[in-house]
């Protein structure tokens, strides 16, 4: 719309009160909406993927795949396994059941721009099986204070993940089930938060994990900002339908 206004010297501003109540699809078609004073225009799919951090590569680690831990900073940790998450693990996994709760030994590693939890492969030295992964740029983390508990030396890394997806990454649990709001044919985007507690042996171990993961989160978010900046600077992917009659004076 700004491009259109600029091209005609902003003459269309006089008629703006008559424009609204529709959304434009990527094909240029229009759909009626409840908001009579708003016009919704699409963003190109490549820009959406960059904006929301949804770019993926065939080389990215995927749940169930095998990755090498050789040369990786692999931090040993433990996670609780709910019955619904049991299928994520192999039958040969290092599980322990205590007071009715199943615990799984894992390694926390960073692979590319991903936070990854890996199940160690006891038969293949140096390899592991990916249990879950999520983009570092979508995470925020906290850690237990040193005096959080007196009954154990173990401490938690509290991991929060935010995404528009209506299903969380493996092992993560939603704080509140997604309930997207609709406005006619439109769905209002929202970030849904899920959480995961990752346990480490003691305060020293969780502090090390916190520092390493926090550094990687900051780096991932900076890289994403650069990708968005580069895309906008290139002025690619505009899907604004310039031939709509209502935008012409």
The candidate with the shortest Cα–Cα distance to 106, out of 207, 201, 211, is: 201
pTM: 0.76
Question: Phi first, then psi: what are they for 209, rounded to 5°?
Answer: -60, -45
The model's confidence at residue 7, banded by pLDDT at 50, 70 and 90, is: very low
**How confident is the model at residue 22, as a pLDDT?**
65
Question: Residue 8: pLDDT above 50?
Answer: no
- Total residue count of the chain as it appears in this document: 249
Domains, the chain, with CATH or none: 2-51+237-247 (no CATH), 66-234 (2.30.29.30)
When comparing pLDDT for 246 and 125, which is higher?
Answer: 125
pLDDT at residue 19, rounded to an integer: 58
**Cβ–Cβ < 8 Å for 39, 19:** yes
Compute the radius of gyration of the chain from its Cα atoms. Answer: 24
With 60 as the cut, is the pLDDT of residue 86 above it? yes
Tens digit of each residue's pLDDT (9 = 90 or more) over 42-81: 777 777 777 777 777 667 888 889 998 888 899 999 999 9
Query: Does 248 score more than 90 pLDDT?
Result: no
User: How much is the mean pLDDT over the chain?
Assistant: 80
Q: Percentage of the chain with pLDDT > 70?
A: 76
Spell out where 50-126 has E strands.
66-68, 75-81, 95-98, 101-111, 114-120
Instruction: Check residue 13 and give its pLDDT.
Output: 40
Residue percentage of the chain with pLDDT more than 90? 35
Cα–Cα distance measured from residue 105 to residue 209, given in angstroms and rounded to the nearest whole number: 15
Q: What is the pLDDT of residues 120-175, one digit of tens each?
A: 877 767 889 999 999 999 999 999 988 888 888 999 999 999 988 888 999 999 98
The pLDDT, as a whole number, for residue 183 is: 64
Q: Say what the pLDDT of residue 186 is.
A: 66
Q: Where are the alpha helices (DSSP H) in the chain?
A: 2-7, 45-51, 203-234
Q: What are phi and psi of 219, to 5 degrees?
A: -60, -45
Query: What are 128's two structure tokens?
Result: 């592991």
d(CA 27, CA 18) in angstroms, rounded, equals 23
């Amino acid at each position: 719309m700004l491009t259109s206004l600029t091209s005609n010297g902003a003459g269309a501003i006089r008629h703006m009160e008559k424009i609204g109540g529709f959304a434009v699809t990527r094909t240029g078609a229009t759909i009626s909406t409840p908001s009579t004073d708003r016009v919704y225009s699409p963003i190109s799919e490549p820009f959406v993927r960059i904006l929301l951090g949804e770019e993926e590569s065939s080389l990215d680690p995927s749940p169930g795949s095998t990755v090498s831990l050789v040369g990786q900073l692999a931090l040993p940790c433990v996670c609780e396994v709910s019955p619904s998450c049991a299928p994520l693990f192999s039958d040969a996994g290092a599980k322990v059941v205590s007071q009715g709760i199943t615990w799984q030994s894992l390694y926390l590693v960073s692979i590319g721009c991903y936070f990854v939890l890996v199940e160690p492969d006891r038969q293949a030295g140096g390899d592991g099986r990916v249990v879950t992964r999520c983009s570092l740029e979508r995470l925020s983390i906290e850690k237990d204070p040193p005096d959080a508990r007196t009954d154990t030396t173990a401490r938690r890394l509290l991991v929060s993940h935010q995404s528009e997806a209506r299903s969380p990454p493996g092992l993560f649990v939603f704080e509140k089930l997604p309930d997207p709001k609709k406005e006619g044919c439109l769905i209002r985007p929202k970030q849904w938060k899920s959480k995961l507690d990752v346990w480490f042996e003691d305060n020293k171990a969780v502090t090390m994990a916190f520092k390493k993961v926090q550094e990687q989160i900051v780096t991932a978010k900076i890289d994403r900002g650069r990708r968005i900046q580069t895309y906008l600077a290139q002025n690619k992917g505009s899907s604004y339908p310039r031939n709509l009659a209502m935008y012409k004076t």
